Chain A
Amino acid sequence: MPVIRDVMPAFELFQPTSVSDALGLLDRHRADAWVMAGGLDTFDWLKDRIKRPRAVVDLTFVGELRGIRDAGGGLEIGALTTLTDVVGHPLVRERFGLLAESAALVASPQIRNQGTIGGNVSQDVRCHYYRAGWPCYRAGGNICYADTPTAVNREHAIFDADRCVAVSPSDTGGALVALDAEMVIRSAGGERVVRAEDYFVGPGIDITRTTALRPGELLTAIRIPATWAGAQFYFEKIRERQVWDFALVSVASALKTSGQTIDEARIVVNAVAARPKRLRNVETLVRGRARDEETANAAAAIATDGAEPLRHNGYKIPLVQNLVKRAIRGATEWTS
């Protein structure tokens, strides 16, 4: 196991004050650069000497990446906006309580004060084998230590594993997928916008990365369209330590209803795959049905279709089913 050292390893530190400067640095250093926002995922990697970037681009002083703006009934959130600011912003609470709820359940108040929403959706997976620095698939090797007959894999994936079985640790990721958010990605060559669902990348597509970000690119903002503003939301996160932990399973749902009938639904579960997983089969099933116990049970029954639990994470099957049931049955408004 790696030993956390008291001192940082040597690297060249850059602290740009504008997005264009940051993009210039990222373009110059490409794969040798490490983007640091709140630093909460960064320092473990660097102090453990697992990741050895030559250049660290610290975004702390790029003020234009902070803030939440109205965008035609939706919102545009700067990637460097802290989770505390997201939780407390009146427009977020009014329109997209789902996002506020999920951000409020990230780690501890201290971490939310420091951590950014861009960092929360871009952080690396939390597999302890991978973070130990061993040559697993995700680290560029040829084995998954978490998917062996003797592995400890309570926290790992039950869906869509492809060699690697690590899961996405992002609490806000599931909510953003449910809200049909878009991620604004900029590079020296221009800007591209990807759907939140496509921002998260599974191991089948790219086993060494968790996001669509390529070397030289920077997530600058998250846009949430007005589509789901004021819908009926439900977020629940199951974790072992209630005060501060990553999710074992979480569910984020958004429903639009007419009376008791569900018109439209987004159901996303997370910490069960390498990316937040939309349960499209459940969404299709509940559309047009009454929001009642019968529909909730029917949704739960198909929520884990295709799941393949590992040796120690079979408990996630009933957990997903119950969380989906509660999301359908659940509160008619934001739960906190």
Chain B
Amino acid sequence: MDFVSWGRNPWEETVLIRISWDLFWAALVGGILFLLAHGGYMLFSAYRPKEDHEVDTLEKAHGHLPSTIERHSFVARAFHWVMAFSMLALVFTAFLPVVGVRFAWVEWHWWAGLLLTASIVFHIIHTTVFLDFWSIWVGPKDIPEARIELMRELGKPVPPDAPKPGKYPLGNRLYHLAVLLAGLAVIATGLLMMFRVRTNLVPRDPYIMSDAAWGWTYVAHGVAAVSFVGLIIAHIYFALRPEHLWLTKAMIFGRVSRRQYLSHHDPSRWVVAKAAGEAKEPHAAV
């Protein structure tokens, strides 16, 4: 298996060309194997969700809350689906030709890339100005929560006062971090690559960087792109898992029930305004 492909330029220098398509197949197969392994594990998992009586107690204590609670505003949902559409368009236009489906993909690809870029710029502004920017980030403060999640996965009892997530579970935040890194890499390199195709937006000039710099740009773009193959497989898989469907519905309709809210979140970390059922939204999910 090769990781990158090399060529010799007119100056007889060995230069990087791009990643090897073997990496695409590795990401595809790896993603499928992961979901098979995880799905198999979940069939026999000793995962311990909250007992009904625990949630009943919480509901009694928070009876003043409305019956449904807004999890994602319309703007946040619109961003999510625009970004999802552009991501899928990018991945399909990039890799369908690799698997042998031939079509004029380049223009679709860079238009989808521009859509992704615009949606991410909007997302950064929206979360910075209107939402709690830091609520989606991961840090050392999350180690106790990770430990409790692990105990739940292993079927171990957890103390009643064990830390619970705010609006976003730890897995959600880790996924966001991975998408952030891959997304910024693919956008930055993709915008540079616009100088190599005809777009009527930027003057075409492949000599704005050296061959070596271009090689690394293509490799970084490719690594980020194949990362998205695995990330998208994982994301769709988890979104469709029965125990997560309530989250997927919330990304469509915007709201969760009070019971779901209390069952999965720490009301002190994700504070809901009592009267209107409008949660103080910390961040838009990906």
Contacts and interface: CB of A to CB of B under 8 A. Distances in A.
Interface of A: 132-135, 139-145, 147-150, 161-163, 201-202, 204-206, 308
A145 B211 CA distance: 12
Contact of B206 (A134, A144, A204, A308): A144
B174 interface: no
Nearest to A145: B10
A163 B10 contact: no
B197 A142 contact: no
Given A132-B10, A134-B9, A134-B10, A148 B102 contact: no
Contact of A142 (B18, B97, B105, B106): B18
29 contacts: A132-B10, A133-B8, A134-B9, A135-B9, A135-B15, A135-B17, A139-B7, A140-B5, A141-B7, A142-B17, A142-B18, A142-B214, A142-B218, A143-B206, A145-B10, A147-B204, A147-B206, A148-B206, A148-B207, A149-B205, A162-B197, A163-B106, A163-B196, A163-B197, A204-B104, A204-B106, A205-B102, A206-B102, A308-B198
Interface residues of B, number: 25
A141 B102 CA distance: 18
A67 to B, nearest CB: 32
B41 interface: no
A63 to B, nearest CB: 33
A142 B197 CA distance: 10
B199 to A, nearest CB: 11
B8 A135 contact: yes
Contact of A205 (B8, B17, B103, B206): B103
Given A142-B218, A148-B205, A162-B198, 16 more contacts: A135-B7, A135-B9, A140-B5, A140-B7, A142-B215, A147-B204, A150-B207, A162-B104, A162-B106, A163-B196, A202-B104, A204-B104, A204-B105, A204-B106, A205-B104, A308-B198
Nearest to B214: A142
Interface string B10-22: 1000010110000
B16 to A, nearest CB: 9
* Top 10 A-B residue pairs of the complex, sorted by shortest distance between their CB atoms: A135-B7, A204-B104, A205-B102, A141-B7, A143-B206, A206-B102, A142-B218, A141-B17, A134-B10, A142-B17
A143 to B, nearest CB: 5
Interface in B173-216: 196-198, 204-207, 211, 214-215
A24 to B, nearest CB: 22
User: A139, A142, A150: which has the most chain B beta carbons within 10 Å?
Assistant: A142
Nearest to B16: A142
Interface in B1-41: 5, 7-10, 15, 17-18
Interface of B: 5, 7-10, 15, 17-18, 97, 102-106, 196-198, 204-207, 211, 214-215, 218
Nearest to A163: B197
Nearest to B218: A142
Given A135-B9, A142-B218, A149 B106 contact: no
A145 B7 CA distance: 14
B196 A142 contact: yes
Nearest to B10: A134
Contacts of A162: 104, 106, 197-198
Nearest to B197: A163
A189 to B, nearest CB: 15
Contacts of B211: 143
A150 B15 CA distance: 20
A144 B5 CA distance: 17
Nearest to B106: A162
B76 to A, nearest CB: 37
A311 to B, nearest CB: 11
A161 B17 contact: no
Nearest to B204: A147
A145 B97 CA distance: 23
Contacts of A202: 104
A143 B207 CA distance: 10
A226 B188 CA distance: 55
Contacts of A147: 204, 206
A133 B10 CA distance: 9
Nearest to B215: A142
A143 B204 CA distance: 11
A167 B207 CA distance: 23
Nearest to A162: B106
Contacts of A133: 8
Contacts of A204: 104-106
Contacts of B105: 204
A161 B198 contact: yes
